[in-house]
């Protein structure tokens, strides 16, 4: 049932591609407190197809849609280089904005988007959905409360062959439209996740290569990272692995956390695993309740604990967080600044590849931006 305290949030879509059809439109329909009222796409037939299936009025004129009184907020999921235009236009009309990652293709554009939403006084949330997996939220709490001690290292991989995702176009591999292939579509999720779990970055060293795909793009990505608190990281991804490669490990002085957010497999057998030498009395409830001893009279004496939280859609959780931020007049849980910080790491990676060394972040306002070319 819709919330008794507030009317449904009326949402318009900017873009009518695969992510809207597979995720955002059905998520809006599932949420009793949101309603899809409008769909814009430069291809009117694409907009009409989404509207026919999920509701709302189709448009091929963005200003006409944004001028409609029945739109409170928008979701922006166009090819990346058009994100800025959609977000800035929506903010100018006083619409709250959920923007799919990446925020923009460069840092300068991301800054303009953040400033436009701040000036308009509207919520800006960025689509880093992996923060909303239950296993990530549990890991975040364990880290923040010091359960695994001081974190010194994180490593994370996210790989997927280019034909796995049922996209309607291959714009992701047209670097002029996307701003990057693997790094900006897959690795960016782990760039944000590592910052969310460990802290702000201080420097980046990158190795980006074209190894396999027909398109000359970054299909093989490795990032070494330094964090402001002294921790180190290794983030990787590719676009040729036939399986979906997934796994994040966080190493602290008093324990280790393993997260599998996308899939499980023989090497990532559970969504969340925690290693600790602490006794049962020092376990938080979520770990104490997950542990099964060898016999009922035994207690936990240290080792691995596997946690299998209920599998709930992170898209549902992020939409509800967006709606709640608007209803309660508070900042988004994943802000425009979060999107900007992730974009800084990507731009720093491009600069690192160009100069062959470490690049400090945050980047200065006049930091150059140039998409690499690949042999």
Mean pLDDT, 10 residues at a time, the chain of 375 residues: 70 97 97 98 98 97 93 98 98 98 97 98 98 98 98 97 84 95 97 98 98 97 98 97 94 98 88 96 96 89 95 96 98 98 98 97 94 95
Q: Which residues contact 4 (CB under 8 A, 6 or more apart)?
A: none
pLDDT, residue 150, reads 98
Helix (H) or strand (E) holding 155: strand 151-159
Written as six digits, the tokens of 283 are: 């376990």
> Helices 336-355 and 107-120 meet at what angle, rounded to 10?
170
Q: Which residues contact 348 (CB under 8 A, 6 or more apart)?
A: 203, 204, 206, 359, 360, 361, 363, 367
pLDDT, residue 39, reads 98
pLDDT, residue 1, reads 45
Q: What is the pTM of this model?
A: 0.95
Query: Residue 250: left if φ>0, alpha if ψ -120 to 50, beta else—which one?
Result: beta
pLDDT, residue 2, reads 47
Closest CA to 102 of 373, 323, 367, 350: 350
Residue 58 — φ and ψ, nearest 5°? -80, 145
Question: 257 near 250, Cβ under 8 Å?
Answer: yes
Which residues sit opposite 307 in a β-bridge?
272
How crowded is the C-beta side of 51, counted as CA atoms within 13 Å?
Answer: 21
Q: Which residue has the tokens 């009395």?
A: 281
Q: Which residues contact 119 (CB under 8 A, 6 or more apart)?
A: 91
Closest CA to 346 of 356, 334, 361: 361
Which residues sit opposite 157 in a β-bridge?
236, 247
| Interatomic CA distance for residues 73 and 14, integer angstroms | 10
Q: Which residues contact 81 (CB under 8 A, 6 or more apart)?
A: 104, 105, 176, 177, 178, 179
Helix (H) or strand (E) holding 26: helix 25-30
């Amino acid at each position: 049932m819709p919330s008794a305290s507030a009317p449904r949030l009326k949402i318009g879509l900017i873009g009518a591609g695969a992510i809207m059809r597979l995720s955002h439109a059905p998520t809006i329909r599932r949420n009793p407190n949101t309603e899809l009222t409008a769909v814009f796409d430069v291809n009117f037939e694409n907009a009409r197809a989404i509207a026919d299936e999920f509701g709302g009025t189709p448009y091929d004129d963005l200003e006409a849609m944004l001028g409609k009184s029945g739109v409170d907020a928008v979701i922006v999921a166009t090819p990346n280089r058009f994100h800025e235009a959609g977000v800035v236009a929506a903010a100018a009309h006083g619409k709250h904005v959920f923007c799919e990652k990446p925020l923009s293709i460069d840092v300068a554009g991301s800054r303009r988007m953040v400033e436009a939403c701040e000036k308009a006084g509207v919520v800006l949330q960025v689509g880093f959905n992996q923060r909303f997996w239950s296993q990530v939220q549990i890991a975040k709490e364990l880290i923040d409360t010091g359960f695994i001690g001081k974190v010194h290292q994180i490593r994370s991989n996210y790989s997927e062959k280019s034909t796995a995702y049922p996209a309607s176009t291959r714009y992701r591999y047209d670097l002029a439209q996307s701003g990057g292939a693997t790094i900006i579509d897959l690795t960016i999720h782990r760039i944000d996740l590592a910052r969310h779990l460990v802290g702000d970055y201080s420097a980046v060293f990158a190795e980006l290569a074209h190894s396999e795909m027909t398109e000359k793009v970054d299909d093989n990505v490795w990032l070494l990272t330094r964090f402001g608190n002294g921790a180190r990281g290794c983030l990787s991804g590719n676009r040729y692995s036939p399986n979906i490669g997934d796994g994040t490990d966080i190493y602290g002085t008093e324990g280790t956390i393993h997260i599998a957010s996308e899939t499980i497999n023989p090497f990532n057998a559970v969504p969340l695993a925690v290693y600790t030498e602490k006794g049962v009395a020092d376990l938080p409830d979520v770990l104490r309740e997950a542990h099964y001893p060898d016999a009922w009279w035994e207690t936990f004496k240290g080792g691995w604990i596997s946690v299998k939280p209920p599998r709930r859609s992170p898209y549902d959780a992020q939409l509800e967080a967006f709606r709640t931020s608007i209803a309660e007049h508070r900042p988004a849980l994943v802000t425009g600044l979060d999107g900007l910080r992730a974009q800084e790491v990507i731009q720093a990676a491009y600069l690192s590849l160009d100069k062959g060394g470490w690049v400090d972040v945050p980047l200065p306002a006049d930091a150059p931006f140039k998409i690499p070319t690949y042999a």
